[in-house]
Amino acid sequence: MIRLLTPDSVAERVENISLDSLERDGVTGLALDLDNTLVPWHTADLSVAKRAWVNQALERGFRACLVTNSYAAYAKNVSRELGVPLVGGALKPVPIAFARALHCLTLPAHRCVVIGDQLFTDVFGGKMLGMHAILVKPIATREFFTTRFMRLMERPLLARMRQTS
């Protein structure tokens, strides 16, 4: 259980993730969380740095998709803007969410990484299917109340990880 909740690595922001090291690990598929990973919660405010990172990945031959529990229009806007397909209404961490992402990326799980800001949805959901997982710091503090509750639950786990790493 703990193994499924432990990301392979952590990064301050998406744009700090090294595409070189992903490639070295044989990872060329990116399943990207949207809210508070790529954009502030419930907005389509994509920063220049994040857009550049995704573009660079695509130019290098990475495949990418957005995986979000949201159905809303802003998710479609970000998807269109990045030219990256959207797996919306995904119900993370239910395995079907990431199964849909893998289907979209057309790569085996061990060649894909989930990048997200939540342990219990992004990391846990991806790891259950055998994907790599990178945890990023959430962009904004404003978020859905259930997400805030989940963060309280994450805290002791994150503290424990810091002690052992």
Q: Closest distance between Mg ion and the C-beta of residue 19, in Å?
A: 21
Q: For residues 86 and 104, give the distance between their C-alpha atoms in angstroms, rounded to a whole number.
A: 9
Q: For residues 122 and 116, give the distance between their C-alpha atoms in angstroms, rounded to a whole number.
A: 5
Q: Closest distance between Mg ion and the C-beta of residue 127, in Å?
A: 16
Contact letters for Mg ion, residues 113-142 (x by CB under 5 A): ----x-------------------------
Q: For residues 29 and 63, give the distance between their C-alpha atoms in angstroms, rounded to a whole number.
A: 5
The dihedrals phi and psi of 103, each to the nearest 5 degrees, come to -60, -40
CB closer to Mg ion, 35 vs 154: 35
Identify the residue whose tokens are 């109340």.
145
Identify the residue whose tokens are 């997400």.
147
CB closer to Mg ion, 32 vs 105: 32
Q: Closest distance between Mg ion and the C-beta of residue 117, in Å?
A: 4
Between residue 20 and residue 79, which ones bind Mg ion under the rule CB under 5 A? 33, 35-37
Single-letter code of the amino acid located at 1:
M
The stretch near Mg ion (CB under 5 A) out of 59-67, 78-86, 109-117, 124-132 is 109-117
CB closer to Mg ion, 60 vs 153: 153
DSSP notation for 137-155: --S-S---HHHHHHHHHHH
Q: Report the residue closest to Mg ion, judged by CB.
A: 35
Interface ranges with Mg ion (CB under 5 A): 33, 35-37, 117
